[in-house]
Amino acid sequence: MGLSHRRFTREFKEAAVRRMEMGVPVAEVARACEVNANVLHRWRRELRQFGSRAFSGPGRSRVEEQRLAGLERKVGQQALEIDFLRGCLQHVEEQRKLQALTTRGSSIRTWRKK
């Protein structure tokens, strides 16, 4: 399974760069944004170099990433539950068949006339 890269929206990147330009230490902005300081420097460089054309690709916000991760966890949990319940159902069916075989032989009785 490959590593997935987080994607950030243009607004998120611009806000992080603005904070740095307002004098907030890079390390503090990096901690707040949960990104490496080198990433912040690259964002600042791209914004200065390309201006309004910087960050033109699609990005995902942290909220979207968290929602997606939560949905993936839920799907995985439900898959485990389905597998467990299938196993339980299979066990019950086997027990029912076994019980039907054992009770069939004892349920046949001969008629006695009174």
Q: How confident is the model at residue 60 (pLDDT cuts 50, 70, 90)?
A: low
Whole-prediction pTM: 0.47
Question: Which carries the bigger pLDDT value, residue 35 or residue 51?
Answer: 35
Residue 49 lies in a domain: yes
pLDDT tens digits for range 31-41: 999 999 999 99
Beta strands in 1-114 (DSSP E): none
Domain that holds residue 39: 1-60
Residue 105 lies in a domain: no
Residue 109 lies in a domain: no
- Residues of 68-107 as b/e, b for ≥16 C-beta within 10 angstroms? eeeeeeeeeeeeeeeeeeeeeeeeeeeeeeeeeeeeeeee
List the CATH number of the domain containing 35. Answer: 1.10.10
Residue 113 lies in a domain: no
Give the number of domains in the chain: 1
Q: Three-state SS across the chain?
A: CCCCCCCCCHHHHHHHHHHHHCCCCHHHHHHHHCCCHHHHHHHHHHHHHHHHHCCCCCCCCHHHHHHHHHHHHHHHHHHHHHHHHHHHHHHHHHHHHHHHHHHHHHHCCCCCCC
Question: Which carries the bigger pLDDT value, residue 107 or residue 11?
Answer: 11
